[in-house]
Amino acid sequence: MIEGAIDLRLGSPCDPPPDLVIDAMASAADSLGPYGKSVGSPVFRQAAADWMRRRLDVEIDPESVAACVGTKEFVAGLALLLGAGCGRGRDTVLIPAVAYPTYAVGAELAGCRVVRVPMTDRFTLDLAGVDADDAARSRLLWVNSPGNPAGGLDDLEAAAAWGRERGIVVCSDECYVEYTWSGAPVGEVGLPASTMLSSGTSGVLALHSLSKRSNLAGGRIGFYAGDAALIAELGERRRELGLVVPGPMQAAGATAWSDQQHVTEQRERYLRRLERLAEAAVSAGCFDVRLPEGGFYLWLDVGDDDRAAVATLAGAGVLVQPGSIYGAAGAGRVRLAAVRPDAEIDEAARRLEALRGVLAGGAGWRR
């Protein structure tokens, strides 16, 4: 019996990083003396490029791959570093209607307008819905596939083409790509996945993280890859900001990108947890419960009032996020992160199931 609330609010990994990655970090402690390069060591860049080839079936020159200090700082800084909002007529950043909040924060830090791109009922971008004037003023479009919070998979080729036609940089945040559950198997690994770089690198960037893939969120390491001129320009600017991943973490990262076995095991854990929570959501009375197409969040339809649903669930001992914090289009949904140990997920599922009567009776949670 678990006492207290089960916290399913955050996607912060609860499983340990692989031993071989920790060993690689410890063995590289002697790299702490000299300054490291902002773009990353040749070994790290090569390992990331090799992973992209094996996993995503794209060939990328390691010179067009560069390290970042976890991907959140890159998300928050990209509009600023692209010089958006500097009075060149491109003062707008386009973000998904339902999105990870840091896209908007980064645009605001750069002094830009934030325009939300409408989404389809499967929570994918509906680029035809972007106003032509907003598109003409845009410097950057953020795509997030698999998406947080809604788990949709975008047509990345179409998004890249849309941006290229309009001279808008498209950055594809692919930090959940290893947890893609639907679609055709890709590359040597033979599991579903997709990257924006499949349509070439011109005018586009893809962003990848080891936080979720390898349970290294505390280690702060990821990479960005794509358009050679953009990578060179961003690398220069980021060097001036002192954005450098410490050497031992780069060694750990290179080892992590080179190993797939730990990811296979982690995929099994998340799928099991998602399925357990989804079953419970169905028997608790939620309608139209679906597993996400990617990512590790359940995005549940709870009727009109997501805040009331959050309160009902908190009363039952399960903490979740209200959908409206991801944008007005998220109202009426709640997000559950399947990112707690199995025993806690089981207990959360039992608590959801025990809510059956309340759901059927309403209490602000009805379709």
Interaction site with ligand PLP (CB under 6 A)? 11, 70-72, 75, 100, 144, 148, 173, 175, 209, 211, 217, 222
- Which CB, 36 or 96, lies closer to ligand PLP? 96
- Would you say 36 or 70 has its CB closer to ligand PLP? 70
Two structure tokens written together for 310: 């959050």
CB 106 within 8 A of CB 73: no
For the chain, counts of helices (H) and of strands (E): 13, 14
Where are any strands of DSSP class E within 227-311?
297-301
Question: How far from chain centre, in Å, is Cα 329?
Answer: 18
Owner of token pair 């390691």? 62
Q: Where are the beta strands (DSSP E) in the chain?
A: 6-7, 65-68, 92-96, 113-117, 138-144, 169-173, 185-186, 191-192, 204-209, 222-226, 297-301, 318-319, 321-322, 333-337
Which conformational region is residue 319 in: left (phi greater than 0), alpha (psi within -120 to 50 degrees), or beta? Answer: beta
Residue 11: CB minimum distance to ligand PLP, A: 5
Residue 253 per-residue DSSP state:
H
**Cβ partners under 8 Å of residue 353, min gap 6:** 280, 283, 284
Residue 17 or 285 with smaller CB distance to ligand PLP: 17
Q: How far is the CB of 220 from ligand PLP (least distance, A)?
A: 7
In the complex, least distance from residue 209 CB atom to ligand PLP, rounded to whole angstroms: 3
Based on CB atoms, which residue is closest to ligand PLP, 222 or 248?
Answer: 222
Residue 39 one-letter amino acid? V
Tokens 């060097």 sit on residue: 239
Nearer to ligand PLP, 102 or 324 (CB): 102
CB of 17 to ligand PLP, least distance (A): 13
Min CB(128)–ligand PLP separation in Å: 23
Which CB atom, from 91 or from 173, has the smaller least distance to ligand PLP? 173
152 versus 285: smaller Cβ distance to ligand PLP: 152
In the complex, minimum distance from the CB of residue 99 to ligand PLP, in angstroms, rounded to a whole number = 8
Smallest separation (angstroms) from ligand PLP to the CB of 175: 5
